[in-house]
Amino acid sequence: MRIPRLFVGAPLAGFLLVASACGKPVDLNKNLQIVDVSTGWADAGLTEDGQNKLVPFVQFKLKNASDQSLPVLQVNAMFRPLNEEKEWGSRFQGVTGSEGLSAGATTPVIMLRSDHGLTGTDPRAVMMKSSHFVDARVQLSAKYGSVQWAKVAEYPVTRQLVTN
């Protein structure tokens, strides 16, 4: 029995159409720019036992420097002590839905705060100046669609208290 060419060629044509529409994967390390970055420590109120709590944060915008839209763009911030590998906390944020971040477009400001940080009985401003204060860093990773997570940046957290 011979299969008509229409049935053999149609799936191949459909596959080629879908493959060409997707384009080649975007290298986020080269094409996702982190702009207007600031870091610091936020006042997280009081703990259950009445201690002052400070948590690290990062605020930034993402710019798509590629020639393709980045659908379902997501970002994750992992907060760690400056000279250690243990994780203090992380924060995940969906940036876009299926509409994506268009080529050349920049997101609004994204702010990510850790749930964990430093606690103490001293006033917050005194905590920031203490010799026991532990400086932190934040690692940003991103992904879009079904591509794997990519580390796109790492910043030290500035020792400044932000009260908003």
Read off the pLDDT of residues 97-138 as tens digits, 9 standing for 90 and up.
999 999 999 999 999 999 999 999 999 989 999 998 999 999
Read off the pLDDT of residues 17-39 as tens digits, 9 standing for 90 and up.
333 345 689 999 999 999 999 99
Could you tell me the residue range of the domain that residue 121 belongs to? Answer: 24-162
133: domain CATH number is 2.60.40.10
Domain-embedded: residue 11: no
Domain-embedded: residue 145: yes
Q: How many structural domains comprise the chain?
A: 1
Assign 164 a pLDDT band (cuts: 50, 70, 90). Answer: low
Domain-embedded: residue 1: no
Domain-embedded: residue 10: no
Domain-embedded: residue 152: yes
Domain-embedded: residue 62: yes
R_g over Cα of the chain: 22
Domain-embedded: residue 40: yes
Domain-embedded: residue 72: yes
Question: ∠ CA 56-110-36 to the nearest 5 degrees?
Answer: 85
Report the distance separating Cα 145 and Cα 70, nearest Å.
7
